[in-house]
Amino acid sequence: MDFDVIIIGSGPVGLSFARSLSDTDLRICVLEQSNVLSLSKPKYDGREVALTHLSKKIMSELEIWNRIDPQSISYIKEAKVLNGLSPYSLHFNHQETTEDALGHLIPNHEIKSAVYESIMDIENITLFTETKVEQFNINDEGVTVKLDNGDALTADLLIAADGRLSNARRAMGIPSEVKDFGKTVIVCKMEHELGHNNTAYECFHYGRTLAVLPMVGQCSSIVITISSNKAKQVLDMNEGDFNEDIQTRFRYKLGEMKIIGKKYSYPLFASHADYFHSERFALIGDVAVGMHPVTAHGFNLGLRGAYNLSKIIKKAQLSNQKYYSADTLVEYNRKHQMVTRPLYYGTNLIVDLYNSDRITAKILRRLALRFGNNFWPVKKLIMNQLTEKH
Ligand SMILES: Cc1cc2nc3c(=O)[nH]c(=O)nc-3n(C[C@H](O)[C@H](O)[C@H](O)COP(=O)(O)OP(=O)(O)OC[C@H]3O[C@@H](n4cnc5c(N)ncnc54)[C@H](O)[C@@H]3O)c2cc1C
């Protein structure tokens, strides 16, 4: 065997998984189609990623957190959910928890470069960039991966971390439920006149949603979810009109607002694989579950799954079992599905409820905000889900 474990994809989840096995004697190989510069110096992509306490804990243990510039970490202390034009909000405050913040907001490119740095110079991790997986074959003997340069590599276990549209998942014949919301997410950074007090807002306006997430300083990340046929109009808006539009929709809560840099857009769909494993094969990250960003769980879930899989592999090694056996992979599948399914379906339900213009949906969401605010067990449950504290 050339390697013990081959990982397809060096996104933040694929690399975190490699890092989590760095303290084993396994020979890990990561295959990435992009060039090394896109890993060592990733470009700003407009994505500000909200990280839970659990993610912080895992990233600290994997020595990733300490590589993130502290000046780029913003603390989310409060969160408010608003429905339509009503001033009433479902309100979460970190003071209702034992933590100094509900979560942390970090630019995606900072996370990516920190994860990459954490695997550099690790002896048992080999990274091949500008290397695309063409096809692979799995049988009782092991895994053979054919690369676009004509080479072939062998291993005992293959991990698919090649993103939401994973070719590897498709090649293995693992079905996946895909929910296309017919929407586009537009993200950008804006500076504003008034301080945000580290409060995140999720405003469910009719036909579109607006999230305003507190960044470091007098800046916020703006996340607009809008029907794809209307996205171009927003993307093409000139600066002045865009500033006016956002500050008006946000009712001048942050005073005058001004866009910094450009707008970025992402097509919006969610996906959930029916199962996360097959013989000598497992899915991690967005390959397993691609979340709608409204509950900010995508990377958090991917990291958690990858970390848990590494723990299960290490446990198998300690008890002298084959780490790539069906038992090991079944355990990962069972445990991770228990975490992902409620979050996936819960998130999609919220999205449907808050995007529907039906009168029953309007009444229901008004009730849901009041119920959430006034019924402490429900509020605590939502807070635990948001922060992944328990
Ligand atoms: C607007 C937006 C906001 C978001 N906000 C949040 C948030 O607040 N909190 C949160 O937790 N998550 C958030 N997410 C989700 C998060 O960004 C993703 O879950 C995360 O990036 C997934 O990482 P990954 O490593 O699984 O996949 P990816 O980052 O997609 O990486 C896949 C890698 O595989 C490589 N690859 C693909 N095919 C091949 C091949 N054949 N051979 C070799 N390499 C290959 C690709 O080049 C890529 O590098 C957000 C997403 C969006 C779009």
**Structure confidence by residue, pLDDT tens digits, 278-313:** 999 999 999 999 998 877 789 999 999 999 999 999
d(CA 332, CA 246): 43
DSSP state of 250: T
8, 49, 297, best to mutate for ligand 1 pocket (most atoms within 8 Å of CB): 49
d(CA 377, CA 187): 33
Closest C-alpha to ligand 1, atom 37: 162
> What ligand 1 atom has the least distance to the C-alpha of 131?
43
Residue 62 contacts residue 19 (beta carbons within 8 Å): yes
> What ligand 1 atom has the least distance to the C-alpha of 50?
8
> What ligand 1 atom has the least distance to the C-alpha of 164?
30
162 Cα: distance to centroid of ligand 1 (angstroms)? 8
Q: How many CB atoms lie within 10 A of CB 99?
A: 15
Confidence of residue 93 (pLDDT cuts 50, 70, 90): confident
| Domain spanning 5-178+270-387, CATH class | alpha beta
Q: How many CB atoms lie within 10 A of CB 195?
A: 12
Confidence of residue 387 (pLDDT cuts 50, 70, 90): low
Q: Mean pLDDT across the stretch 133-137?
A: 96
Nearest to 74 by CA among 221, 217, 216: 216
Instruction: Show me where the domains of the chain are located.
Output: 5-178+270-387
Closest C-alpha to ligand 1, atom 51: 293
110 Cα: distance to centroid of ligand 1 (angstroms)? 14
**Structure confidence by residue, pLDDT tens digits, 153-176:** 999 999 999 999 999 999 999 999
**Structure confidence by residue, pLDDT tens digits, 192-234:** 999 999 999 988 777 788 999 999 999 999 999 999 999 999 9
Closest C-alpha to ligand 1, atom 5: 49
Identity of the amino acid at 226: I
112 Cα: distance to centroid of ligand 1 (angstroms)? 10
368 Cα: distance to centroid of ligand 1 (angstroms)? 31
318 Cα: distance to centroid of ligand 1 (angstroms)? 31
Nearest to 290 by CA among 278, 279, 300: 300
389 Cα: distance to centroid of ligand 1 (angstroms)? 23
- The whole-number pLDDT of residue 107 equals 97
Closest C-alpha to ligand 1, atom 13: 298
Q: Is the pLDDT of residue 39 over 70?
A: yes
d(CA 292, CA 140): 37
DSSP state of 110: H
223 Cα: distance to centroid of ligand 1 (angstroms)? 17
Closest C-alpha to ligand 1, atom 35: 9
- The whole-number pLDDT of residue 82 equals 78
Task: Give me the count of residues in the chain.
Answer: 390
20, 33, 223, best to mutate for ligand 1 pocket (most atoms within 8 Å of CB): 33
Nearest to 209 by CA among 184, 232, 189, 190: 184
> What ligand 1 atom has the least distance to the C-alpha of 52?
11
pTM above 0.85, yes or no: yes
Q: Give the bridge partners for 277, in sequence order.
A: 282
**Structure confidence by residue, pLDDT tens digits, 345-368:** 988 887 777 666 666 666 666 666
Which residues surround ligand 1 with Cβ inside 6 Å?
8-14, 31-34, 47, 49-50, 108, 132-133, 161-163, 167, 185, 187, 266, 285-286, 293, 296-300, 302
301 Cα: distance to centroid of ligand 1 (angstroms)? 12
SS3 call for 369 = helix
User: In this structure, what is the dihedral angle of CA atoms 112, 115, 116, 121, given to the nearest 10 degrees?
Assistant: 170
> What ligand 1 atom has the least distance to the C-alpha of 185?
1
> What ligand 1 atom has the least distance to the C-alpha of 299?
11
d(CA 90, CA 95): 15
d(CA 324, CA 278): 10
